[in-house]
Amino acid sequence: MTVTTSPYTRLQELIGLTPGNLITHLRKLEDAGYVSTHKNGSGVTARTSVALTHSGRAALERYTTVLRQLLDSAEKP
């Protein structure tokens, strides 16, 4: 499985959270073992990237499976 990383700023744009809110969510996900972060550089050139861990990907797949089942059952009369 290929690990895809996303720059912190790209995640912020996609999700629409403030930097403070995003870092709070990422810390909780990192504490749970679902994402890993990596910082390059320092000061104004610092860049942070975020990647799903194997357990994070598994949790996401479980979540989306349950969500799809819930949505499918809601569509049935």
pLDDT by residue (tens digit) across 26-39?
999 999 999 999 98
Burial of residue 35, with CB atoms counted within 10 A of its CB: 0-12 exposed, 13-18 middle, 19 or more buried: buried
C-alpha closest to that of 35 among 21, 20, 24, 46? 24
Q: Would you list the domain boundaries of the chain? A: 5-75
pLDDT tier at 24 (50, 70, 90 boundaries)?
very high
Region for residue 41 given its phi and psi (left: phi exceeds 0; alpha: psi -120 to 50; beta: otherwise): left
Count of other CB atoms within 10 angstroms of residue 2: 3
pLDDT of residue 74 exceeding 90, the answer is no
For the segment(s) 5-75, the CATH number from 1.10.10.10, 1.10.3720.10, 3.40.50.11540, 1.10.260.30 is 1.10.10.10
Confidence of residue 25 (pLDDT cuts 50, 70, 90): very high
